[in-house]
Every structure is written in C-alpha cells, then in structure tokens.
Amino acid sequence: MENIYTENNTASRTMRSQMSYQKALSQYRSVHGLSRISWVTWGVVTGTIIIWCVTAYQFALATGAHHAYDIIAAVMNNAINIQDKDNNALSSVLIAFGAKDNDLILQGQYWRFVTPIFLHANLLHVGLNMLNLAVLGVFLERLVGHMRFLLIYVTTGIVSIIASFYFMPQEISVGASGAIFGLVGAYSVFVLMHRRAFRKGGIPALLWLIIVIVGNLSIGFFVPNVDNYAHLGGLLSGCLLGWWFTPLYTLTQDNTLIDKHSLSRRWPLALLTIAGTLILAIIARLFIGG
C-alpha cells in the first residue's frame, strides 16, 4: 500500500512539473509583436556597449592618443590585457565613471554598488559579457517577463558588487559578469524546479549548467583580475531569486493554471528583496568601514 502511494505521489509531482513547464513554454512561445522583444536585455546590452565606447575613448585620450588612428590603436592594443604602463590610466577612467572603489564607497559614494555593473575594462571583457547576456537574457526575459528579469539582473548585480566590496576591498572592480551569473543561477533553479519535465529527470540539463558554472568560476583561478567573489555573490543571489520569482504554474480548483511566482502575487517579496539588498549593503559597509 505504501509503495502504491509513493508511486502515485511521484507520478503526481511529475505531472505537476510537466504541466508547469509546458505552460511556461507556451507562454514563452505565445508572445508576439513588440512584446516578444527582450527590451531589458537589449537595452542593457546597448547601453553597456555605449558606456564602454565612451570609457575606451577616455582611456585612449589618457594614454596620449589624439587622432582617430591612435585612439583605435590604443583600444585594440589593450583589447585583451591592459598593459602595465596603462593600468593607472584605465583605473582612473573607470573610477571616474563609477567603478567599485572601497575608499570612495566608504566616503559615501554608494551609487558605486550599482554603476560597476555597466562598466568594463576592455574589448574582450565587454564583448564576452554582452554576448553571454544577449544569448541567455533574450530567452530568460521572455520566459520570466520584463520586470522579473530586471529585478533579477539588477539585484544580483548589486549583490555581486557587495560581495566584491566585502571580500576584495583593495580591488577596483567592474563588469556585468556577477549579474550574468545571477541569471544563470535563476535559470538553474527554474530547471531544478521543473526537472521532472526534462529528459532523464533533468540530470543532463543540470549537469550542463553545473559544468558552465564551474568552468566559468575556474577561469578566475588562472586569469588575473577576475573577481570570483562577485561571481559567487551573483550566482547565489540568482539561485535565491530564481526560487522566488521564476515561473511556477499550479492548477486552481476551477482548472486554471496560475503562476504562483508572478510579481502581481509576490510583490511583497519583491519589495523585501530590494530592502534586503539595501540592508546587505549597509551591513557590508559597517563591517568594512567600522
């Protein structure tokens, strides 16, 4: 009798998981017209690239370039690794535009918990991050909706900067990779919640996500100036927000599928998320600043 109950219960959970996953996909596929465009993703990608162009131009001027050819040469010469002689120039430009600098944050420039998400050090840095954001963001934004995507992206980005602020106080930090890790974490939780709807219980999909996460974190052990604390902060906060806000459909008594995690139902939790992020920043500030 117990085995029959267990089997029925497992079958019921599998059916609910499949039903929720299929509903989420049908919602994803049913979006048409302008609503189909991932406005937040493309807005962030476009804005970030424009900001990088401005900072790259300022960096080139700071290194002595004045003509178009010299500016392009300066940017391309430092496309992958910044030359030692140019480190100070780049740091000065990035700090002027809002890079994470603990000393300045401790002086009251708290916007630096946000602005580093949209700054990048060089062409390779911005190129890889924006490519990853475009690939994952377009899909995930259509899956969860514009506002939930924006909440996850910005919140995990801020948490990643807070983690860097606390664990790497001496480093100047910029980049969207913490927020992108947050998106990966959120999607991983979505897959985990709907694992019974995936082939072989979602194990191949989850293993692939684990490989992506571990592989990217491993880069930080071999490539200099990679802030793995920021990556971990973004990843863990993304997992938490994914658990709270990625779509999870349930069947009501009148046989209607509703998304339990929609912002219209979880707006108090969204406000708590914003407040919690603010409190986390205050706590980090108190521990670092005394």
Looking at the annotation, which residues are catalytic? 177, 231
For residue 276 the two structure tokens come to 């919690």
Asked if residue 236 lies in contact with residue 184, where contact means CB atoms within 8 angstroms, the answer is no
Could you please report the per-residue DSSP string of 74-136?
HHHHTSSS--GGGHHHHHHHHHHHT-B-HHHHHTT-GGGGTGGGG--SSHHHHHHHHHHHHHH
Could you please report the per-residue DSSP string of 174-190?
--SHHHHHHHHHHHHHH
For residue 271 the two structure tokens come to 């406000």
C-alpha R_g of the chain: 21
What is the identity of the amino acid at 119?
A: L
HEC string of 48-82 equals: HHHHHHHHHHHHHHHCCCCCHHHHHHHHHHCCCCC
- Rounded-to-integer distance, Cα 53 and Cα 66, Å: 15
Q: Position of tokens 């658990």? A: 243
DSSP 173: B
